[in-house]
Structure 1
């Protein structure tokens, strides 16, 4: 699962980078490098692109903390801090949904609506499973090892 999670994250970062580069070099839109990097500064749809910029920063924060997890989560206290930073993925996802709904050129088409709804349902189900899972430590070898070490 961890390999799938990391592979999806890297693929998403590559797609995000391509999205931003194509947006900036597209001559039909008024989006400069500054407009793409400074929230709400774009000449084209500043609110929508501002949400996208904030989403990008949240996702990059999550990627950096994810890459540094081994160093950042060395203690229980550090692990809590790491998790609180890594949870920015939810904010990044919500901001990116807002960005897509406001700036997406296909927003409103049936296929686009189906994709937005399917993504929202998938995330809500995943959050539900994460929050209300029956035994959250059953498949967590690190938690099991720590528990066994304390009892020994």
Structure 2
């Protein structure tokens, strides 16, 4: 049974990294104010939300399976309090921190209407911290974290997110947003 839990934990961890990357990319693109080719902006937002939900479920399964795996020696406190673990405490702590930040993102997403768009956007900047922390956790403590195939995946994910951030910060994107606001006024 422990082998099955370990495989589930390992697989969901890798899948979560991929989907969290896609979530961040879709969030950046959506915030840029431009639709993707063939998809209106609202559809991109729906895909962003659904991918975020799926990645969150994968993270929950990842943590739960490793919590139930007796060989992982993960304690309940290790899943909530960063840097409390004994096994690779720093890298495990980064994973716990990423989960805590993910919880903040999920809670604010669920309370978006209650807290208002300004507070939601302010808290949603946490995603820019959560993603690299989760990636560092995957590389530092994951079974395959230093495997060539995973490092290639991590490199592609990092390049994609960095490219999206650079694109988002370009004047052309900002000008598009400003022009759109002027048309609305």
TM-score normalised according to structure 1 size: 0.82
- Shifted more, 51-60 versus 34-43: the winner is 34-43
C-alpha change, 1:52 and 1:70, in structure 2 (3 Å) is: same
Give the 5 Å matches for 1:1-152: 1-73=44-116, 79=118, 81-132=119-170, 134-136=172-174, 138=176, 144=181, 148=184, 151=185
Whose RCO is larger (CA < 8 A, sep 6+)?
2
CA displacement 1:55-89 (0-9 Å, x = unmatched): 11111111222222233235xxxx1x322210101
Alpha-carbon shift at residue 128 of structure 1 (Å): 1.4
C-alpha change, 1:135 and 1:37, in structure 2 (3 Å) is: closer
TM-score normalised according to structure 2 size: 0.68
Structure 1 gaps, min length 5: none
C-alpha change, 1:137 and 1:25, in structure 2 (3 Å) is: farther
Question: May I ask how many residue pairs the two structures share in their alignment?
Answer: 141
Alpha-carbon shift at residue 90 of structure 1 (Å): 1.1
C-alpha change, 1:14 and 1:135, in structure 2 (3 Å) is: same
